[in-house]
Structure formats: structure tokens, C-alpha cells
């Protein structure tokens, strides 16, 4: 059976949307544990690499913001229950 190759999007905003869908799937236990990227080819993720996927999402968010002329986000603020009022 021949392998059907689909076109890989190169737009950072499209890749961002796909990466966010993948993150949601990973966090809800429904993950397809790999995605196709233009620069890296097929990338596989495991539940242990959610942090890697989040860093990828952050990088894509910055690229998408820059492409749309928006000020890049400053990243997520640390969250702590210890600092809760």
C-alpha cells in the first residue's frame, strides 16, 4: 500500500492551530502522538514531552504574532497556589 503524503502547512498560524489541537489531545488522553513539520519532518511526542510541545507552541505564537504585526506575547506568567491571596 503506497504512503499518501499530504501537504505540510508552512504558515506559523496554521501550525500553531494544529499544535494546540495536538496539545489538547495529549492532555485529554486522545493524542495522535506525531505531527508533520516543515523543518523537522515527522515529530513524535509522548506524554512526557508536553513541555516540548508547549515550547513549540510558544515559538509558533511569536512567529504568528510577528506575521500579523502584533506585539509578541511575553510568555505565560508562572502560576502558584502558594502565592494565592
Cross-strand bridge partners of residue 35: 43
Q: How confident is the model over 42-68, as pLDDT tens digits?
A: 887 665 578 888 888 999 999 999 999
Neighbours of 68 (CB within 10 A): 9
Q: How crowded is residue 12: how many other Cβ atoms within 10 Å of its Cβ?
A: 19
Q: What is the pLDDT of residues 2-30, one digit of tens each?
A: 556 667 788 899 999 999 988 888 788 77
Domain 12-67 listed as CATH 3.30.1580: yes
- pLDDT of the residue at 53: 85
If we measure between CA atoms, which residue out of 53, 73, 51 comes closest to residue 62? Answer: 73
pTM above 0.75, yes or no: no
Cα distance between residue 40 and residue 73, in whole Å: 24
Give strand pairing partners of 34. Answer: 44
pLDDT at 30: 77
Amino acid at each position: 500500500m503506497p504512503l499518501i503524503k499530504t501537504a505540510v502547512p508552512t504558515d506559523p498560524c496554521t501550525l500553531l492551530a494544529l499544535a494546540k489541537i495536538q496539545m489538547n489531545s495529549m492532555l485529554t488522553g486522545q493524542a495522535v502522538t506525531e505531527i508533520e513539520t516543515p523543518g523537522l519532518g515527522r515529530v513524535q511526542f509522548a506524554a512526557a514531552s508536553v513541555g516540548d510541545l508547549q515550547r513549540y507552541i510558544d515559538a509558533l505564537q511569536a512567529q504568528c504574532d510577528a506575521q500579523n504585526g502584533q506585539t509578541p506575547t511575553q510568555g505565560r506568567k508562572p502560576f502558584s497556589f502558594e502565592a494565592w491571596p
